[in-house]
Amino acid sequence: MSSEPVSSGPETIPSKHKMGSPLITAIIGALAVIFAAILAALIPVLITQPRHHFGNRCIANLTIKSPSDGQPVTSGPTQGVEVTGTACNLNGSTGWLFDHDLGDGYYFLDYSANSPTPVADNNGGWAYYDMNVGNKGDKNVAYQITAVLVP
């Protein structure tokens, strides 16, 4: 009778680098430091970016939200129209409003104080009541309200 050796389980193959080796530990540590540095650099940027236009992307520095295109403006005791919009990534620039008379091609600067001031000088929402549109002489006249970015 011959006896054959009995295996006690799968054989292990020796490896050059074991899981706890100093090389793997150093690589993991270096990757963790790099990831932490990238995250630390991105967090302030992500927190301070304005949230306009499709999440946090700024498509245009100045956007007019109302009035809508072609909206009629009635004349009378409450002549004018409220213009609202948003500003983003101004970085020291300002936003100014102009009424563009499509009939004669002239642009008229909108301002409500004695001296011209911008409608937007900070990121975020802005509003301006444009009283220059809607007087008796504007009946059936098409105006375009234009927001201009001034560096």
* In the chain, where the domains are located: 20-49, 62-150
Low-confidence ranges of the chain (pLDDT < 50): 17, 49-53
Residue 90 has what pLDDT? 95
One-letter amino acid for residue 139 of the chain: K
For 62-150, CATH number out of 1.20.1630, 3.30.70, 1.10.1740, 2.60.40 equals 2.60.40
Q: Residue 52: what pLDDT?
A: 46
Would you tell me how many other CB atoms lie within 10 Å of the CB of residue 22? 8
Instruction: Return the pLDDT at 1.
Output: 52
pLDDT score, position 59: 87
Is the pTM higher than 0.85? The answer reads no
Neighbour-count burial of 151, counting CB atoms closer than 10 A to its CB (0-12 exposed, 13-18 middle, 19+ buried): exposed
Instruction: Report yes or no: 134 and 81 within 8 Å, Cβ to Cβ.
Output: yes
